[in-house]
Amino acid sequence: MAFSIASVRRTCVRPLIFLGLIGLLCLPLAGQPGRAADQTPPPPHQPSNEALQADPAAALKALVDGNARFVAGKTVHPRQDIERIKETAKGQKPFAIIVGCSDSRVPNEIIFDQGLGDLFIVRTAGQVSTYASWGSMEFAEEVLGAHLIVVLGHTKCGAVKAAVELPKVPGHIVTLINEIKPAAQRAKSMPGDPVENAVRENVRMQVEKLKGLEPVLAERVRDGKLKIVGAVYDLETGKVNLIE
């Protein structure tokens, strides 16, 4: 049987091309050695919870830094593995108390990029607090050792809007509105959006209320052991803005 030069070339070249393609598929992508391992960035340097409990200013910085990662899309979800689960099962040492709104769009650990056992969270609509909430904060401060409280409001808050517009509401919702009414009244004389002004005023007034809450929180504030600050979370940007 006669073989032509062309048929010989086809017979030899096709297997070589196939083997070459197999080799390319087996190589790692250019510039991405160990790509699967590199997809998760290293956890950020953050002092231990015990160190942050002893330094409220550093605790606040840890929250600010975590929120900056969240806004930039660079969250690392620290301290959320099985080792942390086992560690916190033995006890908790949260470094901050967040007094926040129950709004489902403001999940505290996510927006601050923190993990299990880092934050002690008290949440109600409009972050309105009364006896049970105050007792929870005192427990976290006195027993668990957290010396930073952040009162966290957020833009477009439904509870604050209701206090501004005073619609007819059912059941116990009116108790929330009544607690926010003073802030809504104070915001009426301010230029700008009345709801957003009331959101900020509500946070400011709640901070002042907690600073003067006797006998525990007020005493810790006077001693310089407890820091209480206010902040507002922006639903559109994800940024937490501190309030003076």
pLDDT 10s digits, 109-166: 999 999 999 999 999 999 999 999 999 999 999 999 999 999 999 999 999 999 999 9
More confidently predicted of 42 and 109: 109
Domain range list for the chain: 5-35, 44-243
Mean pLDDT of 53-78: 96
State the DSSP string of the chain. ----HHHHHHHHHHHHHHHHHHHHHHSPPTT-TTHHHHTSPPPPP---HHHHHT-HHHHHHHHHHHHHHHHHT-----S-SHHHHHHHHT----SEEEEEE--TT--HHHHTT--TTTEEEEEEGGG---HHHHHHHHHHHHTS---EEEEEEETT-HHHHHHHH-----TTHHHHHHHHHHHHHHHTTSSS-HHHHHHHHHHHHHHHHHHT-TTHHHHHHHTT--EEEEEEE-TTT--EEEE-
- pLDDT at position 30 is 39
pTM of the model: 0.82
- pLDDT at position 244 is 80
Cα angle 174, 176, 178 (rounded to 5 degrees) comes to 70
In which band, very low, low, confident or very high, does the pLDDT at 14 lie, cut at 50, 70 and 90? low
The closest alpha carbon to 80, from 107, 108, 103, 109, belongs to: 109
pLDDT 10s digits, 152-193: 999 999 999 999 999 988 999 999 999 999 999 999 999 999
Mean pLDDT of 83-91: 93
Residue length of the chain? 244
Angle between helix 158-165 and helix 194-211 axes, rounded to 10 deg: 110
- pLDDT at position 59 is 98
- pLDDT at position 73 is 96
- pLDDT at position 20 is 46
In which band, very low, low, confident or very high, does the pLDDT at 45 lie, cut at 50, 70 and 90? confident
The yes-or-no verdict on residue 9 having pLDDT over 80 is: no
- Give the separation between CA 94 and CA 120, rounded to whole angstroms: 6
For residue 213 the two structure tokens come to: 């809450």
- pLDDT at position 183 is 97
- Give the separation between CA 225 and CA 110, rounded to whole angstroms: 27
pLDDT 10s digits, 202-242: 999 999 999 999 999 999 999 999 999 999 999 999 999 99
The closest alpha carbon to 44, from 107, 96, 112, 145, belongs to: 112
In this structure, whether the domain defined by 44-243 belongs to CATH 3.40.1050.10 is answered with: yes
Strand partners, 38: none
Distances (CA, A) of 82 to 23, 78, 107, 110: 38, 12, 21, 18
